[in-house]
Structure 1
Amino acid sequence: MTRFPRPHHDDVLIAVIGLLGGVLLWGLGLHTTAMRELMPSWVTLVPLAVMAFLELLRRSCPRAALLIGTAALIADQFTFGNLATVIMYTDLMYAAVVYGSPGAARRIPVITGLITVAMTFGALAWLRQPEALLIGVVTGLVSFAPALTGATLRNHRQAAEAARLRAQQTALLAEIDRNQAITAERARMARELHDMVANNLSAIAIHSTAALSIGEPKASADALAVIRENSVQGLSEMRRLIGLLRDSGGAGQEPAVAPALDGLDALLAQVRTVGSDSGLVFVLDDGREAGGGRLPAPVELAAYRIVQESLTNALKHASPGTVTVTLAHTDHTLTVGVTSPYGERPGPRAPGSGAGLVGMRERVTLLDGSLEAGPVTAADGTKIWQVRARLPAEDDTELYA
């Protein structure tokens, strides 16, 4: 069983006012057409009642209400006529455009406009008097004017809804951008934190294990000295990171200097001290041209961190042998390579989390470079672990001239 939707309270109010107003006009004897002697006066109330009932359906069934209302309006012209019936019909025309389908909202103003023009020329051709223009005016007021008003209101509503949706989308995109910026900043901080302290903490872990396992006082004292040195270095790096987070370039404060490739000698000197007991030898092969131009700061920082993380991994996992760091700057590309012996190693070793490789890949990806990391076979047939990064590196000398 089909149930009609409950009418809106405004529609009920319009229907009641229209019906009562029409009954009042009928009781006062106010009519809109010439007297019809063929039927009694009360017949005028039938189209009025039908039109008032259709007002209850103006939102839920606007198309059906308009079609039936048109028939009721035509029938009203063959009775004494009631102004309330005509007014309620204009409201049905307006509601059909506002609450109807998009296709109906486009077609109804056009159709009523054509009907208005046709009625105007038809009346002139039939009556051949200037007063015939009034028929076209009345037709336009009853049909085209409310349809045009409804179309205007609907267009304004659609424009307002589109503006609201655009505002929501803009707010959503802004929130997405903010979340992405926060995520990127957190990832950058995580990379910096890992790269700053991993090398020092790994050395501390290795030498603290050695100090606990070796019974010789001198060896334990040497291990403790290395632990202290790396603790101080790690604390310095942490302070530098805190300075970056606090934006320490304010008045009276020196900006924190990011590590660069010029500091690789000091970095290798440090890891030589740490890795001396592990049988590791560290060699730097800097193939860059002397005075060949300054690289962009992000490239130098990324290259330094890649070397630092690779050396840290060598301290953790490499078997005794030579760890070689190579640098080459050709064809606007900086190539960074670190090779270390691959295999089991004796003595204490620090655990690894895999975060270092992830951080290196993120750094290289941000610069649109490439990274290869994994075991390979050297020319002499031995297994080595190789890290090879290629970073786009335009000469930045002119920026500092």
Structure 2
Amino acid sequence: MSASDDPPASGPASEREPGPRVVLRHDASLQWAVTLLIITIAVITVRPVGVSGRGLAVVVLLVVNSVALLARHLPPAFPRRAALVWLTAGVVASAGLLEVSNSGSGYLFTYFLVGHAGYRLALKPALAVAALSSLLCGAVFYFYVGPDRQVLTWTFGLSTGIPVVAGILGRSRQQAVEARLQAAESAERAARAEVRTAVLTERGRIARDVHDVLAHSLAGINMHLELADALMDTGDLEKVRAAHNKAQSLVRESLKQAQWTVHALREDSLPLLESLTAMIESSGHREVLTVTGAVRELPAQVTQNVLRIVQEALTNAARHAPGAEIAVELTFDAASTTLAVRNGPATGEATAGVGSGMGLIGMRERVALLGGTLTAGPLTEGPDRGGWQVEAVIRG
């Protein structure tokens, strides 16, 4: 008998799927139509009807039963204790209607009220209402047909309690539907939260890229321009020209890095090896890339982050170890990809006071997002002793 009720709403209307909402509205309209049809049939068929005596009693009981049946459409938040009272009163009134009427379909009130008790009430109260209905209706029918037809009497009485099973099953079905809707809403909220997290992560990545390209370079350019301005007062044009040329070279380097940053951020970036080769050559180094293992294409996200790691490592090497030899190694294993960027000791004067340390932090964060590990530190042995190495191991 679950179909006889308006199911409880679950979650904000704006978050529920249009399909279930349409079905729920359709079910509510159908059940209102069924309720009104039962009342109409009872009014037409139940007799006698009058303004005195038994006819008046029939009219009063018809009104009570109709009100009890209409109360099925009360919201689910209606107190269960009050629902138990009016359903019990309705069952008693429906049995009374069977007693005072001579004909008609008043028994339909009993079936629908008992079914609704199974839907609306807890298990024990619902079964108690069903037992009361069977007992009262069986007794009424017993006195109506006589003791010679006891099988028919108690069969009818028990049949009025059977709809409680349909109501209980309907409630279980409705609860399952609500649980699915809530699960769908929870999954939707989780998906939206995941999207928001991904957007924030991407914003952070872009912010780091912009910082890596602009902050370091602009700081160096500003430093050399300030130096040139200070040297103007000394009249040493050679030093002024050297500071100016250094600022110009930093501008060219910054433009080059900006181009590679935009390239690495694009989803349609070139294949990894081709991009790496072009990037390394543009930094002034040739034939320093070594590839080991079976080469394979990596996902776009991995490719972009590998390019950004190499770019940052080359920038750091040029800034902190000018003139040093550079070696880039890319190793493809069955379960991981390893990138190592190594530079020897500086042969020129390093740019002092430039850099905030965010480059290394950014590299660690990139590798962590890919589920890998990154190690960075000075080289204490080998031909590049005194230099620096960055190694990223990425799974997959």
TM score, norm. by length of structure 1? 0.56
Partner Cα separation in structure 1 for residue 272 and residue 327 of structure 2: 32
Structure 1 Cα separation of the partners of residues 258 and 308 of structure 2: 18
The runs of 5 or more residues in structure 1 that have no matched partner are: 1-7, 30-38, 270-287, 316-320, 342-346, 379-385, 397-401
Deviates more, 1:294-303 or 1:322-331: 322-331
Name the SS of the counterpart of 1:187 in structure 2. Answer: helix
Letter in 2 for 1:363: R
Whole-Å Cα distance in 2 between the matches of residues 292 and 246 of structure 1?
24
In the other structure, the counterpart of 1:399 is none
The number of residues matched between the two structures is 328
Q: Which residue of 1 aligns with 2:368?
A: 365
Provide the residue aligned with 2:252 in structure 1: 232
The 8 Å contact of residues 327 and 343 in structure 2, kept in 1 or not, is answered as yes
CA distance in 1, matches of 2:325, 2:128: 82
Cα 1:20–1:257, aligned 2, differ >3 Å: closer, same or farther? closer
Larger radius of gyration: 1
The residue identity in structure 2 corresponding to 1:257 is S
Matches of 1:220 and 1:80, distance apart in 2: 116
C-alpha deviation, 1:177, in angstroms: 3.1
Kindly report which structure 2 residues correspond to 1:93-172, keeping only aligned pairs within 5 A, or say none. 93-98=114-119, 100-101=120-121, 103-104=122-123, 108=126, 112=130, 134-135=152-153, 138-139=156-157, 141-145=159-163, 147-151=164-168, 153-172=170-189
Report the residue type matching 2:194 in the other structure. D
1:26: Cα distance to partner?
3.3
**Which deviations, in whole Å up to 9, do the C-alpha atoms of 1:69-101 show, x marking residues without a partner?**
333344445544664643323332233233x24
Gaps of 5+ in 2: 1-27, 381-386
In structure 2, C-alpha distance between the alignment counterparts of 1:339 and 1:81, rounded to whole Å: 110
Shift of 1:179: 2.5
Q: What is the aligned partner in structure 2 of residue 36 from structure 1?
A: none
1:383 equivalent in structure 2: none
- Code of the residue aligned with 2:210 in structure 1: it is L
- 1:34 match: none
Separation in 2, partners of 1:64, 1:354: 74
> Within 5 A, what are the aligned runs for 1:327-338?
none
What is the match of residue 188 of structure 1?
A: 205
Aligned to 2:6: none
Contact 1:248 1:254 in 2 (8 A): no
For 1:54, the aligned partner's letter is A
CA distance in 2, matches of 1:248, 1:22: 75
Q: Which residues of 2 match residues 77-92 of structure 1 at below 5 A? A: 78-80=99-101, 83=104, 85-92=106-113
Offset from partner CA, 1:130-185 (integer Å, 9 cap, x none):
x655445534553323x344345445544443443344334333323332333333
Q: TM-score, normalised by structure 2?
A: 0.57
- 1:293 matched residue in structure 2: 292
Equivalent position to 2:240, from 196, 202, 220: 220
Aligned residues with identical type, % of pairs: 18
For 2:273 and 2:203, the matched residues in 1 are separated by 21
Query: Contact (CA 8 Å) 1:200, 1:231: kept in 2 or not?
Result: yes
1:255 to partner: Cα distance: 10
Match of 2:192 among 166, 175, 180: 175
1:291-349 deviations in Å (ceiling 9; x for gaps): 6726987585465355346558859xxxxx999999999999777789999xxxxx984
Tell me if the contact between 2:279 and 2:311 (Cα under 8 Å) persists in the aligned partners.
no
Q: Equivalent residue of 1:143, what SS?
A: coil
- Distance across 1 between alignment mates of 2:158 and 2:134: 5
CA contact (8 A) 1:16 1:52 kept: no
Which secondary structure does the structure 2 equivalent of 1:257 belong to? helix
Is 2:90 aligned against 1:62? no
Query: Alignment partner of 1:27: what SS?
Result: coil
- Counterpart Cα distance in 1 of 2:61 and 2:132: 25
Which structure 2 residues correspond to residues 197-216 of structure 1 after superposition, within 5 A?
197-215=214-232, 216=236
2:324 paired with 1:307: no
Provide the secondary structure at the position in 2 that maps to 1:361. helix
